[in-house]
């Protein structure tokens, strides 16, 4: 159903879905994260519960989780910079590139700034075992203005599937099957939230770089959720989980998280039908032979 028509085009009402974010505890930013870079541009607010990250001509900024996780549920509510934001990139993602430089895993939510009169773009991506040469990007237009209020961006990652969600509505599901198993993220990762200059590629392949006369660009962060199996550095690479029974709400093995519900499937079909405008699985100009998981769908 269309709820309004504005300069942004038709704005649709998303279907009702389960609120996964209500099943996990919200934690202060400073309890789970350290500053990753651009310390002078990271400002903790509300006694460390929230944070503002800024990008100016001197530096971007970023946070990284204090622990590494093997599977879990990771979420943050963010309000994005308004105005002319071409080339600006806000990223909420998991990566282990700091440990496995040439064989790393990554799960990305990237929000790409816009040129004049255009919307922010949501880009998702996934890598496993250093498979960076095969980009698995999918791009979406949002069904709301992400600069006027906070919206939740979430990643569910377990052995069954990886799910990207916006305001609890699934936008993408990567099922862990035989076709994708060799490049499915499987090693413990750090959680990052970053704000940086993507002038070389982010907006129409670098056509519209960051214009710093509109700086500083500020993204506000709150309602962070970081829950999963924590890598115990003293033990080695085997992660320890606080909850692991199939009857629990643990995102690692819990029955509630092994597959999408009917409501979530409806939400997934809605976002992909109305808001997705690019999928690597349909990019035959880029791939003469599509990646195997595209043919497995």
Question: Taking the domains of the chain in order of start, what are their residue ranges?
Answer: 17-295
Element (H, E) at 69: strand 61-79
Tokens of 168: 């609890």
Cα–Cα distance for residue pair 47/27, rounded to 1 Å: 12
User: Is it true that the peptide bond before 216 is cis, omega within 30 degrees of 0?
Assistant: yes
110 among known catalytic residues = yes
d(CA 268, CA 274): 10
- Cβ neighbours, 10 Å, residue 235: 9
User: What average pLDDT does the structure give for the chain?
Assistant: 88
Q: Say yes or no to pLDDT of 3 above 50.
A: no
Integer Cα distance of 63 and 220 in angstroms: 12
Catalytic residue, chosen from 31, 106, 137, 138, is 106
Q: What is the pLDDT of residues 206-255, one digit of tens each?
A: 777 899 999 999 999 999 999 888 876 655 455 555 444 444 455 666 77
**pLDDT-derived band of residue 37, with 50, 70 and 90 as boundaries?**
very high
CATH of region 17-295? 2.60.120.200
Give the torsion sign (CA, 113, 115, 121, 123). Answer: negative
For the stretch 112-171, pLDDT in tens is 998 765 689 999 999 999 888 888 999 999 999 999 999 999 999 998 999 999 999 999
Q: Which of 18, 110, 225, 256 is catalytic?
A: 110
Q: Which residues have C-beta within 8 Å of that of residue 50, sequence separation ≥ 6? A: 29, 44, 220, 221, 222
| pLDDT at residue 246 in the model | 41
Residue 106 falls in the annotated catalytic set:
yes
The structure tokens listed for 211 are 């214009």
Neighbours of 23 (CB within 10 A): 15
- Alpha carbon distance 139, 213 (integer Å): 28
Residue 218 near residue 69, CB atoms below 8 Å: no
In angstroms, rounded to a whole number, what is the distance separating the alpha carbons of residues 96 and 201? 23
Contact 153, 175 (CB under 8 A): no
Given a cut of 90, whether residue 77 has pLDDT beyond it is: yes
């Amino acid at each position: 159903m269309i709820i309004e028509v504005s300069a942004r085009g038709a704005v649709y009402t998303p279907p009702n879905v389960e609120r996964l974010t209500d099943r996990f505890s919200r934690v202060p930013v400073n309890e789970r994260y350290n500053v990753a870079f651009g310390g002078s541009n990271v400002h903790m607010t509300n006694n460390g519960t929230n944070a503002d990250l800024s990008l100016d001509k001197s530096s971007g900024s970023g946070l990284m989780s204090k622990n590494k996780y093997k599977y879990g549920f990771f979420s943050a509510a963010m309000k994005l910079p308004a105005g002319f934001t071409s080339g600006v990139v806000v990223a909420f993602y998991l990566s282990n590139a700091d440990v496995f430089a040439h064989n790393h895993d990554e799960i990305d939510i990237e929000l790409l700034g816009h040129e004049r009169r255009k919307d922010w773009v949501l880009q998702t991506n996934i890598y496993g075992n250093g498979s960076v040469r095969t980009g698995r990007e999918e791009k979406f237009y949002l069904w709301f203005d992400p600069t006027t209020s906070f919206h939740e961006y979430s990643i569910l990652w377990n052995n069954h599937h990886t799910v990207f969600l916006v305001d609890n509505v699934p936008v993408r599901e990567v099922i862990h099957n035989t076709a994708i198993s060799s490049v499915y993220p499987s090693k413990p990762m750090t959680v990052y939230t970053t704000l940086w200059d993507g002038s070389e590629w982010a907006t129409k392949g670098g056509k519209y770089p960051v214009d710093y006369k509109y700086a500083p660009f500020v993204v506000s962060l709150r309602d962070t959720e970081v829950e999963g199996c924590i890598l115990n550095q003293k033990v080695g690479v085997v992660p320890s989980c606080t909850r692991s029974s199939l009857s629990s709400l643990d995102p690692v093995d819990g029955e509630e998280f092994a597959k999408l519900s009917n409501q979530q499937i409806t939400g997934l079909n809605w976002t992909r039908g109305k808001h997705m405008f690019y999928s690597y699985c349909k990019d035959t100009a880029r791939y003469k032979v599509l990646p195997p998981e595209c043919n497995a769908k």
